[in-house]
Amino acid sequence: MATQTLPAVFIPDHTEAAEPAAGPSLLRRIYDVMVETQTRRAEQVIARYRRDGRLRFTPDVNREPHL
């Protein structure tokens, strides 16, 4: 029975190139969803204020005290 000698250091054979990832990374997709969600919430709050008449663009707005 013949014995097989192994090299001292294992060097993997990377003859096939790895394919590039298709589309944005996972972290980028999570970030994009977070930004989109926050933007949508802000637009809903502004629409609610305008609908309820609490947001008036008048000079009186500048004179109201800030809390």
Q: Name the pLDDT band for 31 (thresholds 50, 70, 90).
A: very high
Residues 21-39 have a mean pLDDT of: 93
Length of the chain: 67
C-alpha–C-alpha distance, residues 1 and 21, integer Å: 46
**pLDDT tens per residue, range 54-63:** 666 666 655 6
**pLDDT at residue 36 greater than cutoff 80:** yes
The upper half-sphere exposure of residue 7, i.e. CA atoms within 13 Å in the direction of its Cβ, equals 4
pLDDT at 50: 83
Each domain of the chain, given as residue ranges in start order, spans 26-53
